[in-house]
Every structure is written in structure tokens, then in C-alpha cells.
Amino acid sequence: MLENAGMPSLKRFMFVGGEIVPLQFLRALLADPASLGALTQGKISIGCLIVGLGKDGRPLETYTYNVCDHEEAYAEVESQAISYTTGVPAMIGGMMMVTGTWKQPGVWNMEQLDPDPFMEQLNLRGLPWTEVITQE
């Protein structure tokens, strides 16, 4: 919606007799995200629905998800769960590269690498996940 209204733009234009830059105008109106962390309550859930074939060649559908509590995340790192669920996986990916767990010649997408050590680290680093097999 903001994009459709031109708000992310850096292009200057006249508004009520003065020149404004929409993105700067928007930034001035909205709360600083850092100030919202202590006020945020509730939980967020991030998940992936995976549909394909199992090792036996039969159709398989699983849902893997995590639930993260805003207040718990804030108590640990003084940030919302949204930032927590963004930062922790990035940190784990970096750790996998530095420790050599994800070190192979050439260029690889993380989806091409062994997911098991990454998923294990999610459990150990505050983002435990649950897998539900919805179709076998």
C-alpha cells in the first residue's frame, strides 16, 4: 500500500505549499522501531509448508514451524521477536561457515547444504522448531 501511494520514494514534490521527500516524511511520522521492543507483546510464528516426495518416492507434506515470544526475546536481547527470528538464523549461518560445517568449494545456496546442523542449532539458540507431517 505504501509503495502504491509513492511513500518509499526519495523524489521531492510539493505538498501543501512546501517541498517534501515522501520517505523522510514517513520516517518522521512513524515511531522509531527500537522504541517499540519493550511494548510489544504476543508471539509470532514462522513456518514452511514443504510438499514433495519422501525418500520412498511417495507424496509427503510436512509443516515445520517456530513460535517466538516477543517479551522473551526482549528480555534476552532487548529487541522484538521479529528481529530475533531474523538475527539468530543469520548468526547460525555465519557460524556454520566459520566452523567449516558449511564449507564446500564453489558457490552454494544455503538450501543446498546439509540442513541438520542448522536445524539443531536453531533448537539450541532459542528458536526451537516443530515438524508436523500433514500427509504421508
At 56-103, the pLDDT tens digits run: 899 999 999 999 999 999 999 999 999 999 999 999 999 999 999 998
- Per-residue model confidence (pLDDT) at position 136: 67
79: nearest Cα among 25, 124, 123, 126: 126
- Per-residue model confidence (pLDDT) at position 84: 94
- Angstrom distance (rounded) from CA 53 to CA 58: 5
pTM for the predicted model, two decimal places? 0.72
104 pLDDT exceeds 90? no
* Size (the chain), residues: 136
- Per-residue model confidence (pLDDT) at position 41: 93
* Phi-psi domain of 16 (left: phi exceeds 0; alpha: psi -120 through 50; beta: other): left
- Angstrom distance (rounded) from CA 44 to CA 112: 27
- Angstrom distance (rounded) from CA 136 to CA 129: 20
